[in-house]
Amino acid sequence: MEGTIKRNWEYICNHNKEKTKILGDKNVDPKCEDNENNFDFSVMSYNILSQDLLEDNSHLYKHCQRPVLHWSFRFPNILKEIKHFDADVLCLQEVQEDHYGTEIRPSLESLGYHCEYKMRTGRKPDGCAICFKHSKFSLISVNPVEFYRPDIPLLDRDNVGLVLLLQPKSPCAAFPVICIANTHLLYNPRRGDIKLTQLAMLLAEISSVAHQKDGSFCPIVMCGDFNSVPGSPLYSFIKEGKLNYKGLAIGKVSGQEQSSRGQRILSIPIWPPNLGISQNCVYEVQQVPKVEKTDSDLTQTELEKTEVLVTAEKLSSNLQHHFSLSSVYSHYFPDTGIPEVTTCHSRSAITVDYIFYSAEKEDVAEHPGAEVALVGGLKLLARLSLLTEQDLWTVNGLPNENNSSDHLPLLAKFRLEL
């Protein structure tokens, strides 16, 4: 009988401006009860390994005992895990459509979740789901994102994202809406050009969804399987809000593996103008048709939009985005420096899954002077610790008898403060 490995809750103390301190697993839950000033909620990000992909890539699971690979064995375990952690929001990846309709959605609904789903385009029938507790949130909007664009040769892959706007339900006070995004970026380690463009498209959608009337952004949580490792250019871009990609090889963007192929240098710009996304990762204002309309036919706002287009961005190798995003996990165990892993099978054991969030001001002292927009802040209260590769091989890697995906679930508790 294989053992289970205990994952501890790490409670985070961040009310000083120094480095975040971990209070450790003393079960000192700082009483996470909502009141008129606080709204607490938890988020899980989990790539549950679609059965079709498991079967298509069976060489990755040779280390597993056959029976643990059957969906009929895996699904009850995954559901048990979801039920046990009882997160208020679930961001799931590799959710296979047939299983979603017949088992996943009905089971999650009976646990009190409202479920939204975006299937990949093309032939692979899996996708991303965001599910949230009825008791905690009401749904404001659902915004699916397709990264496939028939008119743009670069964007010939079928990955997707999903962005929800949720209204916290609290009897005590009116809290601002929050934006929850989920994605599963392209796997191909050599195609960093596509991965970066997919990320830019997701960020543009988040900007548009999270944008508020006063010009600021509501709090943001961005989860997913980014198929990129910590410290890679794609990861750094998310965290720093900027990336100079001049001279960067497309195979080096995600840092998944040292490959001799995929060494073409990223072109400047990476994606063509007809994508309609600026180098700042926001949607560009659509060109106002110049024919047929005279100036007097244009409204004032249309004239302003035309001006924005005239002062077009200079071509440079700099990407930017407007959010200041922190990662829930720090990717290395502080005492040993050993890497955390979020996925483990016979070919690799690395971090590719993340929960990013817009941190409240005192957490963002690491970006002094950075040009970030006013973004609503969340406080990270706790996270469920990850494991090392060695930990996982003591239970025969993933999936195993108890952990039924080749990824671990990531879990964070946040506080929204008025």
Q: How far is the CB of 77 from ligand KL2 (least distance, A)?
A: 17
Q: Say whether residue 227 binds ligand KL2 (CB under 6 A).
A: yes
- Which residue type occupies 26? K
Residue among 5, 22, 32, 53 that touches ligand KL2 (CB under 6 A)? 53
Name which of 49 and 163 has its Cβ closer to ligand KL2: 49
Query: For ligand KL2, how many residues bind (rule: CB under 6 A)?
Result: 10
Beta strand 89-96 pairing with 38-47:
parallel
Name the token pair of 22: 């971990």
Name which of 179 and 398 has its Cβ closer to ligand KL2: 398
- Residues 58 to 117 in contact with ligand KL2, rule: CB under 6 A: 60
Residue 261 CB neighbour total at 10 angstroms = 10
Residue 352 neighbours by CB under 8 Å, 6+ apart: 225, 226, 227, 228, 229, 256, 342, 343
Strand partners, 92: 46, 129
Q: How far is the CB of 227 from ligand KL2 (least distance, A)?
A: 5
Residue 291: HSE in the Cβ half-sphere, 13 Å Cα cutoff: 0
Contact 348, 256 (CB under 8 A): yes
Beta strand 38-47 pairing with 379-384:
unpaired
Q: Looking at beta carbons, which residue is closest to ligand KL2?
A: 187
Q: Say whether residue 352 binds ligand KL2 (CB under 6 A).
A: yes
Question: Coil, helix or strand for 62?
Answer: coil
Which of 208, 201, 257, 188 has its CA nearest to residue 229? Answer: 257
Contact 185, 227 (CB under 8 A): yes
Q: How far is the CB of 289 from ligand KL2 (least distance, A)?
A: 40
Tally the residues of the chain: 418
- The sheet carrying 21-24 orders its strands as 21-24, 9-13, 379-384, 410-417, 38-47, 89-96, 126-133, 113-119
Q: Say whether residue 143 binds ligand KL2 (CB under 6 A).
A: no
For residues 282 and 308, give the distance between their C-alpha atoms in angstroms, rounded to a whole number.
13
Q: Say whether residue 346 binds ligand KL2 (CB under 6 A).
A: no
Q: Say whether residue 47 binds ligand KL2 (CB under 6 A).
A: yes
Residue among 187, 283, 332, 333 that touches ligand KL2 (CB under 6 A)? 187
Phi first, then psi, for residue 113 (nearest 5°) are -95, 145
Name which of 49 and 90 has its Cβ closer to ligand KL2: 49
Q: Say whether residue 52 binds ligand KL2 (CB under 6 A).
A: no
Q: Say whether residue 57 binds ligand KL2 (CB under 6 A).
A: yes
Which of 362, 390, 307, 380 has its CA nearest to residue 12? Answer: 380
Phi first, then psi, for residue 325 (nearest 5°) are -110, 135
Name which of 127 and 377 has its Cβ closer to ligand KL2: 127
Name which of 177 and 341 has its Cβ closer to ligand KL2: 341
> Which one of 52-60, 268-276, 329-337, 382-390 is the stretch in contact with ligand KL2 (CB under 6 A)?
52-60
Name which of 26 and 123 has its Cβ closer to ligand KL2: 123
Q: How far is the CB of 352 from ligand KL2 (least distance, A)?
A: 5
> Which one of 53-61, 149-157, 260-268, 270-278 is the stretch in contact with ligand KL2 (CB under 6 A)?
53-61
Q: How far is the CB of 354 from ligand KL2 (least distance, A)?
A: 12
Q: Say whether residue 22 binds ligand KL2 (CB under 6 A).
A: no
Residue among 225, 284, 360, 363 that touches ligand KL2 (CB under 6 A)? 225
Q: Say whether residue 343 binds ligand KL2 (CB under 6 A).
A: yes
Q: Say whether residue 410 binds ligand KL2 (CB under 6 A).
A: no
Specify the DSSP element, H or E, that contains 198: helix 192-210
- Residues 150 to 179 in contact with ligand KL2, rule: CB under 6 A: none
Residue 220 CB neighbour total at 10 angstroms = 25
Residues that bind ligand KL2 (CB under 6 A): 47, 53, 57, 60, 187, 225, 227, 343, 352, 406
